[in-house]
Copies of this chain bind each other. A is one copy, B any other.
Amino acid sequence: MAEPSAQHTMNASEMAAAIAQGTATSEQLVRACLQRIHERDSVVKAWAFLDPGRAIQQAQKADKHQAGGGDLGPLHGVPVGLKDIIDTRDMPTECGSDHFRGRRPANDATVVSLLRAAGAVILGKTITTEFALTGQRGTTNPHDAKRTPGGSSSGSAAAVADHMVPLAIGSQTGGSVLRPASYCGVYGYKPTYGRISRKGVFIISRPLDHLGVYGNSLRDLAMIADSLMVFDPADFDMQAPCGAALLDALNETLSSAPLKLAFVKGPPWALAEDHLEPVMQTYLRGLGERAQEVELGGIFDRALDAHSTVMDVSLWHNLSSYYLDHRDHLMVETQERVEAGRDISAESYVEATELVGSLNHAVDQLLGHHDAMITASATGEAPLGLKSTGNAAFQRMWTLMGVPTLSLPLMTGPNGMPIGVQLIGRRGGDADLFRVAKKLLGETD
């Protein structure tokens, strides 16, 4: 059990266990997190909205429920941060946009209801770039305040990395869950497309938007994701069943067969920083025969362009009304992103979307011979400066394909900044991906 002064450093599984065993109360842990935020947020700037009184009230209610002998959900008493594009009925939801300043949704998003049902305490809302795009809102990297934490889930990744909260939800349309995980040195997970409801979440692209999660261990990701991966008919792009029983997968005895990973470079590596190749090669040498470089077929050369086409069209479709009616409310970065999709033909869009099935088919073939694909989670360390959130190239094609991806904080760059190892599975193969990650961590930790 951590000392009270260090309770905020406990990960979510430790917090849940301590509460369940009575060695800590939810109120103590929530107060520890709030204290950490109080001390650090003037530098990190991870939080868009925080109401300490309301958070403590929720924790006290959880403790009272437990004292009364009530059943405990898997996240009972554990604080969680929410990217500020996720509607909450008791806190504002501003989507990082002046346009939504002070907006108070009437209802919780489905994921918020699921978190509450699992016993979680909603600690507050984390800073997002404007509309989850590229317009930065001031969050800094906890490891170096002169560097970006990445985006668009800037506050969620930074808050978990800085141990302000053990769990947070982010979203990914380009590379917005995994890239910040890589830059901030936390665990990040984007499930298969259509597995977490986006009802009550600000939508910028129905075919690309995914919710994802951050934590400080693989088990933490599984714990929160199992609570969130539930079919919701109100998100029209979900298909039952959605659950992947990730904790069950982690609790299984590992097979003794050696890991067989496909190191895939593919088109994104042309955009890597110079320092990435030696860092990755060092890591891969540690894996020995377990990782073998595999060429992705020529079809993948079209994946980044296809992602851009779908994203640009989606942004115009979903954001043009703001752009046309209140352009002056939008950051210049956002205006530029929205404009890009204005004149794209349906023909180009269909060509891009029809590539998705072919790419997934190619991955299915590849993963007939390998347990998962492995690569870096970003083009390099978090870049210096807060103007840009960095390059999403290492996520975009996996987002387009809707395959599950994990970022594990296992590498370090030349400036001492973290770089994630990215594991990629096949669509629907989320549990298998967690099995691979457990094995990788067990074998290389």
Contacts and interface: CB of A to CB of B under 8 A. Distances in A.
A236 B317 contact: no
A378 interface: no
A236 B313 contact: no
A313 B233 contact: no
A351 interface: yes
Contact of A350 (B233, B314, B354, B364): B314
A351 B236 CA distance: 14
Contacts of A325: none
Nearest to A237: B357
A343 B343 CA distance: 11
A234 B345 CA distance: 27
Interface string A384-399: 0000000000000000
A420 to B, nearest CB: 30
A321 to B, nearest CB: 12
A133 to B, nearest CB: 18
Contact of A346 (B346, B354, B357): B346
A322 interface: no
Nearest to A313: B346
A354 B233 contact: no
A360 interface: yes
B350 A317 contact: yes
Tell me which of A314, A316, A317, A345 has the highest count of chain B C-beta atoms within 10 A of its own C-beta.
Answer: A345
A443 B295 CA distance: 61
A316 B347 contact: yes
A151 B280 CA distance: 59
Nearest to A348: B346
A54 interface: no
Contacts of A313: 346-347, 350
Interface string A351-366: 1001011101100100
A202 interface: no
Nearest to A354: B206
A129 B350 CA distance: 25
A106 interface: no
Contact of A236 (B344, B346, B360): B360
Tell me which of A314, A320, A347, A357 has the highest count of chain B C-beta atoms within 10 A of its own C-beta.
Answer: A347
A197 to B, nearest CB: 13
B239 A317 contact: no
B233 A317 contact: no
Interface string A231-246: 0011011010000000
A341 interface: yes
A360 B235 CA distance: 12
A283 interface: no
A349 interface: yes
Contacts of A351: 317
Nearest to A314: B350
A317 B354 CA distance: 11
Contact of A341 (B344, B346, B354): B346
Interface in A199-234: 206, 233-234
A349 B351 CA distance: 12
B239 A364 contact: no
Nearest to A427: B239
A360 B317 CA distance: 21
A144 B364 CA distance: 51
Given A341-B346, A349-B346, A357 B236 contact: yes
A313 B347 CA distance: 7
Nearest to A343: B345
Interface of A: 206, 233-234, 236-237, 239, 313-314, 316-317, 320, 341, 343-351, 354, 356-358, 360-361, 364
10 contacts: A233-B361, A234-B361, A236-B354, A316-B346, A317-B354, A341-B347, A346-B348, A346-B349, A349-B349, A349-B350
Sorted nearest first, the 4 A-B pairs with minimum C-beta distance are A236-B357, A346-B349, A313-B346, A344-B346
